[in-house]
Structures are given as C-alpha cells and as structure tokens.
A and B are shown apart, each in its own frame.
Chain A
Amino acid sequence: MTSVLIVDDAAFMRMAIRKVLEKNGFEIVGEAENGEIGYQKYIQCKPDVVTMDITMPEMTGIDALKQIKKFDADAKVVMVSAMGQESLVREAIMSGAKSFIVKPYKEEHIVQTLNSIAMQ
C-alpha cells in the first residue's frame, strides 16, 4: 500500500485529497498544514509520496520541497497547484518535484499521478 503525506494549509483540501486517496487504496500516514510541519512529518513518517500545496504560511511548498529533497534526494513529491502558478510549478520541477496536479483536479488525475510516481 502506498503511503502518502498530505501537506496543505486548507483543511478542506487535505480532507478532499485524503478521501479520494483512501478510497483508492492509498494509506495516509500524515497531514501537515504548512511546509515546516510537512518537512518534520516527512522525516518522521518517510512516506512513499508527498502531495505538496504551493501557497502556504510559515514555509511555502517550494521551500518545503527543497528541504525534503535535501534530506532525501529520492523523495517523491507531487505539487498541488492552481492555474496561474505555472512559474512556481516550473521552479518546483527544477527543484525535483516528480509531478504536479492542478486544482480543481479530477479524482482519476490525482490517482493516476500518484500511482505512476509510486511505481517509479
């Protein structure tokens, strides 16, 4: 079972992602509401995949991604972005994000994306 850490400042988004992933056989090992906590939880749980929001307080998703990659170069991080954030997503890819999904996303998109990354 693929373990997933969800990092998003919006509780609504965390729940939306959690429900979809749990329904599709993923195991949610943790949730975090900002990049700093996300990084800490990554160290604790070592999940197979991280879904990472970009715009967050304390530490942005990009900075958290960089931290996580520094700690574990093999970390598999998927950015959760929105239209208008192209440049930030590009920066995330440059920083080692494995892929990205765009809000509002479809269930099959997020499941496909995470499945394909987990298999890599």
Chain B
Amino acid sequence: MIRQQFLQELWELLAPVPEPIRRDWMYDYEEHFRIAVENGQSEEAAAVELGDPRQIAKELLLGYRVEQAADKNGSITHVSRAVLAAVSLGFFNLIFVLGPYIALLAVLISFYAVAGALCLSSLAAIYESVWGTELTYLQGSSLAAVLMGLGILTGVGTHRLARAVARMTLNYLRFNSRMITRGNKK
C-alpha cells in the first residue's frame, strides 16, 4: 500500500519528463522496495529510508532541466526552466540562484535595447538628412552607417554574452545540485 502510494506520487510528480526516462528512473525506486522487502524490511521503513517523493522529484527534475538546457545550446527558455527547477529546491536558492540570474537577464536585455536603439537612430539620421535641415546627404548616410555598425556590433556582442551567461548558469546549477542539502537528513 505504502509502496504503491510512494511510487504513484513520484510517477505523477515526474510528469514533465518524457516517459522512457521516467520509466528508467522509476525502476530504481521499485527495485529498492522489492529488495528491501526481500531482505525483511517493512515497506514503511523502506519508504522512510528513501525520503520524501516530492524532494526526490525536485532533485530529478533539476538534473533533467539542466541537461536539457545544455542540449538545446543554452536557449533562454530552457535555462530559465532549469533555474526555476533549482529555485523549487529551497529558499536558499531563491537568493543565490534566481537573484543573480534575473540581474544577468536584466543586463542582457538592456544591452539588446542599446543595440536596438543604435540601429533605430541610424534610421533617424537618414530621415534627418532627407527631410531635415541639419545634415547633408553625405553626413546623414555616413552617420547612419556608423550607428548601424555600432548597433550590429553591440547586438552580436550581446548575443555572445547571452551564450556565455547561459553556459555559466548551467555550470553553476550543476555545481549547486551537487551541494544542495536534502530535506531528509540522517
């Protein structure tokens, strides 16, 4: 009964994970119950030994999210999911994982905004040289070229930076998941 409950709960909690991996993971916990009972342990004792299924599921999900994000070459959506999985492991991670991550995201967004603004202002320079009075065609078009160039450079640089941030975040999460204390102490 307790075995069924435990396994059922874990199975449901692992719903975000594709079925083949989920089945593979579940095999360990099923096997643990089976061998423990063969060795004369009660199902209750075996369940206590394993700990809280919710905690196990969180830890497994974190590992899965991190690997998935790494496979997807650090796409922001996948990295963010991994970060959230880490945060769900405890309050501690809210401060040491989510905080810095949001700060880094904000920096990236502001760089992208700068890149966008530079590109837009080159359009403004062209507009001014055509319809305005301040700039000649030559001044306008060279100013536009310079601004556009800067905008593209900033954009490319920021893109590289985003990649680096994603990689760093994943490495940090891997390191973190090795260190995270589990609810069931012994």
Q: Do A and B bind each other?
A: no
